[in-house]
Each structure stands twice: as C-alpha cells, then as structure tokens.
Amino acid sequence: MDRFQAADVILQERQLAASAAARLCDLPNGPTAIGYGGARGGGKSHWLLAQLGADDCQKIPALKCLLLRKQAKSNVENFEDFRRRLFTRLPHEFSAFRGILTFKNGSRIVLGHYKTESEIDNFLGIEFDVIAVEEATTLTARKYQDISTCCRSSKPNWRPRIYSTTNPGGVGHAWYRTRFVLPYLEQRETETRFVPARVADNSFNNPEYRQVLENLTGWQKRAWLDGDWDIAAGQYFTTFRRDVHVVGSGPEGPIFDETRAVDWFCAMDYGFAHYTVVLLGCTDGDGNIFIVDEHAERLWLPARHAAAIKAMLGRHGLHPSMLKRFVAGADVFSRQSDGTTVAAQYAKHGINLRVANTDRINGWAEIMTRFGDVDAGIRPTLFVHERCGRLSETLPSLLRDPNRPEDLLKVDADEDGIGGDDAADALRYLVATKNRTITQRKLRGL
Ligand SMILES: Nc1ncnc2c1ncn2[C@@H]1O[C@H](COP(=O)(O)OP(=O)(O)O)[C@@H](O)[C@H]1O
Ligand SMILES: [Mg+2]
C-alpha cells in the first residue's frame, strides 16, 4: 500500500486483492502463479503493469520482469497509455525501440511482444524474476509450461513467479480453467491463486462499454460480462430454436413472404468429396436476413452444380445477375494443379463468385447475435425457411470446440452424408460478408 501510495497509483478493490495475492508469492510456501481472469474491462491489464512497476520493481532493486503480450499495433500504443498514466510519479526511462522500461533502482520491465507462439522462445533464453502474461488463454498449455521453466531468480530475497491476466475463451481456455479457476472454486489452491474479474469491479468503464457487453449473447456474454468459465462444453447455438428461427409458408408457425425481399445474395461452401452447399438469402426492409433456399450435393462437378443453382434461383424468379453478391470460401479461388480455379469454372457457367469473409470467430459471433435470445427478450434477425432441411438440421447439432470455445467444432459428414458443418460454413459466409457497395458508399461518406 505504501508503495502504491508513493507512486500515486490508486487501485480498486479487486485489483488490490490481486496485489495481495501477488505478495503471497514472497512467502516460502506461498503460491508461484497468480491468475487474474474473467470479464473484459475488469481492470486486469491496468493492474498487471501497476503490480510490476509500482510494487515489485520498487520493492526489489534490479528486478527483471518480462511482460509478454500478443503483438498488435494497438498493443504498443496501449502500453504507452498505461505507462504514462501509471508511472507519472516513478522516474524511469523507456526505450520504445528496445521495449525496455528501466526504473531508477535498476529494475526493468522488458516488453515481450510476439506474433506467434514460437516467437515467445526468443525471450526465454534469459532469466526473469517475474514473468507477466497478458491474455494467457491465447497460449497453449505447452507454451505456458515453457514459460514457467524460464522463470527463475538468483536473488536471495525474491521468489520467482508468474502473473497472468485473461478472459475466458481461446485455445488455452481448458488448461487455464483447470490450473487456476477450478482450484479456486473448489478452495484447494496451493501453488496458484486466482482472482475473478467482473466488469462491475472497474468503475472506470464507461456505461457504453458495459452496454456493449450487455448486448452480447450466448457464451460471449457469460464469459466477457460475467467472467463465467463454464462455457467450454456442449451445443454451440444454444439460442437457436426451431419454433422461432425456422419459418414456413404454411399456416403453422411464423411465415415468410418472399415479395418483401429487398436484396438477394448467395453463399457457397465448396466441396467435392464433401458437400457443396449453396444458400440463397435475402434481406427485408427491417434488416432481417432470411435463408430462403439451399442446394446441397456432393461428388458433382461445377457444371452440374451451376445448373442446379440456376434452377434454384429460377424457383424464386431470380437469375445470377440479380444477386447483390455470390460469395464462396477462399479455397474456390486457389489455383489447382491444372492452373485453373473452381471459381473460373463457375464463371464459365455464368456464376461469378467473390471471396467471402472467412473469419470464423467473428462469423459465428454474427450468426449468434442475429439469432437473438428469445428467452431474454432479444429479437432474432436471422431466419431459415423450412425447405432448407440440411441447414436447419445442422444448426442445433453443432458443438463448441472445447479447446477454442468461441469456435465451432469442425465435423465432416459421415459416409451416408449425415452431419457435417458445410451448411453452417455457407451460412457464415452469407451473413458475415457485407455488400461492397455499402462499404464504398460509407467510404465516400454518403
Ligand atoms: N485503478 C484504476 N485507475 C484508473 N484507471 C483504471 C484503473 N483500473 C482500470 N482502469 C482503466 O479502465 C480501463 C479498462 O481496464 P483494463 O485494465 O484495460 O481492463 P482489462 O484488461 O481487464 O480488460 C483502462 O482504461 C484502465 O486504464
Ligand atoms: Mg486487458
């Protein structure tokens, strides 16, 4: 507390709890790893730098700390913000070029920015008294293990330790939960201490930020607003409900009237041994998306698919030229051994494909958002016509990837063509790819 006071660093209650846990690492039988994890915006990153710079580095002269962060342009700027705000009262030098911050007593914080996990190894040859890891669930268990073995100290008055901050989700979700969260919940912590973070912990969050988190749905809301770690198993689209999202043209259930369509578009997930799935969708004037028809076949060549796709469009009075866009996964545009592309073959048959937005995580998130959450009173904006049997059967069967909970577990169809995620991929391309014209208009400020 004295050191924080001297540095004019004012921590909030939960951050102080994390600092208290960090101090336990000084005890001979105390913990060696502190995990501070949960909601976004809980004040974790702010704490981590305050703990390193204002407490540990001031307590022990010539302390060597490594702060590992995933490289992104924003990170560098963001570190500058934190540094300026936190260390105004602590004389130090900072070389942005070398990424080293040095305090007057010789204590240092080395910034370890990395793009891929393997680049972390560059920082691990040297001895560090403290290693601080931002967003630890972006790392595999293996890499965290490597980091642990490189955290050692020759200082008699110091026990080496690892501090980490993170949000639930990511490749490291499972190991982090096992190593930090479960011992905490089951009150059997020995070498670790876990401090749960909630958005409400941080009074510096603006109300708009909280609203952004409140507006999330599904696992993201539970993970990023409430800091819930029990999100790794089970169904992916938990808010998908047949009686809500599958519409018909018959007298029962919600109906859909095609004449209300404003724009039409298609998306393809290409396969030969796997299914080629093409979805036909439209928007109405209220921003809803309807998936109106589907084409799903396998072991067909493009010429035959193209004919069937045109026939599908014809059933709705459409022609390929009337579509706002027809998108497909990147594989369709890569050159094959004969120098041609699948896209070129489709072009020969009058179907001009363009590359879809293939970002999985954001794509699934967009679908999830559009499904809304009727139980919570959040209106859906994405509907599937009952004639799209493959898609409507696929959606509720998809599972979360336990090693990457914001992603969907990839599955192939079995020998009988049952299952597989091709229809979901096509839906993702359709929903996540925006109209080029709209973007251009926006760019021109119209
Ligand atoms: N004790 C504090 N004093 C001043 N600002 C704080 C404090 N704790 C957090 N903040 C600010 O709140 C915002 C969110 O905190 P941050 O540490 O980035 O959250 P997280 O890493 O958990 O997502 C940042 O702008 C941060 O500087
Ligand atoms: Mg952070």
Q: Worst-scoring range by mean pLDDT, 38-47, 130-139, 426-435, 436-445?
A: 436-445
Atom of ligand 1 nearest to the CA of 42: 22
Does residue 182 fall inside a structural domain? yes
Residue nearest to atom 16 of ligand 1 (CA): 43
Does residue 67 fall inside a structural domain? yes
Atom of ligand 1 nearest to the CA of 12: 1
- Is it the case that residue 77 has pLDDT exceeding 80? no
Q: Is residue 310 very low, low, confident or very high in pLDDT (cuts 50, 70, 90)? A: very high
- Is it the case that residue 91 has pLDDT exceeding 80? yes
Atom of ligand 1 nearest to the CA of 197: 22
Does residue 308 fall inside a structural domain? yes
How many A from CA of 318 to the centre of ligand 2? 49
Q: Is residue 122 very low, low, confident or very high in pLDDT (cuts 50, 70, 90)? A: confident
Report pLDDT digits (tens) over 28-50: 999 999 999 999 999 999 999 99
How many A from CA of 39 to the centre of ligand 2? 10
Q: Which residues surround ligand 2, an ion (CB under 5 A)?
A: 45
Does residue 46 fall inside a structural domain? yes
Atom of ligand 1 nearest to the CA of 85: 27
- Is it the case that residue 428 has pLDDT exceeding 70? yes
- Is it the case that residue 414 has pLDDT exceeding 70? no
Q: Are residues 167 and 269 in the same domain?
A: no
Of the three residues 183, 205, 227, the one that is the final residue of a domain is 205
| Ligand 1 mutation target, pool 15, 46, 74, most atoms within 8 A of CB | 46
- Is it the case that residue 306 has pLDDT exceeding 90? yes
Q: Are residues 274 and 381 in the same domain?
A: yes
Report pLDDT digits (tens) over 316-356: 999 999 999 999 999 999 988 888 999 999 999 999 999 99
Q: Are residues 41 and 176 in the same domain?
A: yes
Q: Are residues 183 and 280 in the same domain?
A: no
Averaged pLDDT for residues 264-289: 94
Beta-carbon contacts of 108 under 8 Å, excluding residues fewer than 6 positions away, are 57, 62, 63, 64, 65, 100, 101, 102
Across 129-133, 212-216, 377-381, the highest mean pLDDT is recorded for 129-133
Domain count, the chain: 2
Percent of the chain with pLDDT over 90: 60
Residue 440: what pLDDT?
42
Does residue 227 fall inside a structural domain? no
Domain that residue 194 falls in: 2-205
Q: Are residues 195 and 51 in the same domain?
A: yes
Residue 439: what pLDDT?
44
Q: Are residues 172 and 32 in the same domain?
A: yes
Side-by-side strand order, sheet with 33-38 = 92-95, 100-103, 108-114, 64-70, 130-133, 161-166, 33-38, 192-197
How many A from CA of 44 to the centre of ligand 2? 5
Does residue 210 fall inside a structural domain? no
Task: Please list every protein residue whose CB sits less than 6 Å from any atom of ligand 1.
Answer: 10-12, 15, 40-46, 197, 202, 204
Q: Are residues 172 and 256 in the same domain?
A: no
